[in-house]
Amino acid sequence: MASFLDNAANWSLHSVPVAFLLCMLPHAYAIKTAGDKYDVNLPARTIELLSSDKTFDKVKLNRFRRAKAASANGFETLALYAGGIVAANAAGVATPTLNKLALSYLISRGLFNYIYVFLQDNKKFAPVRTLVWMMGIGIIFGLYISAGNAFSQA
């Protein structure tokens, strides 16, 4: 079986559903954290329910909030990423380049989620989260730049 970075197999399009799952992971964590207080009929109300519950752990409440924000942030960039993957594939960008950019993006999203949800109990990690987010956006730009370069050389 070819590795993700192997020249023979283009795994970049497969990375789009994985990126979607990385957006869903913090959301699933938030649901688990809220437990039976998660309002499936009106999910946006859950934060109100958790905030008004004086027995609900404040660290868990803040992680719930950050997990929901991390999920939303992922979905905000998902279309831009998917478009970049499609553009780079359509332009004929070299498979190793596509695979490296795709894997790098997935790693950046995983790191972003982890830093945002778990490490930001310490606010000093906020700048690190921002740097990792910027790295992910830079990778997306790299996809479009690679596509543009490939189209201009064709």
User: Using CA of residue 97, residue 103, residue 106, residue 112, what is the dihedral sign?
Assistant: negative
Residue 2: which pLDDT band, with cuts at 50, 70 and 90?
Answer: low
- Mean pLDDT confidence for 109-130: 97
pLDDT in tens, 40-90: 999 999 999 999 999 999 999 999 999 999 999 999 999 999 999 999 999
Whether 97 maps to a domain, the answer reads: yes
The CATH code of the domain that includes 51 is 1.20.120
Residue 8: which pLDDT band, with cuts at 50, 70 and 90?
Answer: confident
Question: Do 99 and 12 meet the contact criterion of CB atoms below 8 Å apart?
Answer: yes
Whether 8 maps to a domain, the answer reads: no
Q: Could you tell me the CA-to-CA distances from 98 to 7, 103, 133, 134, 147 in Å, in that order? A: 10, 9, 19, 19, 10
Predicted TM-score (pTM) of this structure: 0.92
Question: Do 114 and 27 meet the contact criterion of CB atoms below 8 Å apart?
Answer: no
Whether 3 maps to a domain, the answer reads: no
Range of the domain at 49: 15-153
Domain count, the chain: 1
Whether 100 maps to a domain, the answer reads: yes
The pLDDT mean for the chain works out to 94
Percentage of residues in the chain having pLDDT higher than 70:
95
Whether 115 maps to a domain, the answer reads: yes
pLDDT in tens, 76-112: 999 999 999 999 999 999 999 999 999 999 999 999 9
Whether 25 maps to a domain, the answer reads: yes
pLDDT at 1 over 80: no
Residue 149: which pLDDT band, with cuts at 50, 70 and 90?
Answer: very high
Whether 87 maps to a domain, the answer reads: yes
Whether 4 maps to a domain, the answer reads: no
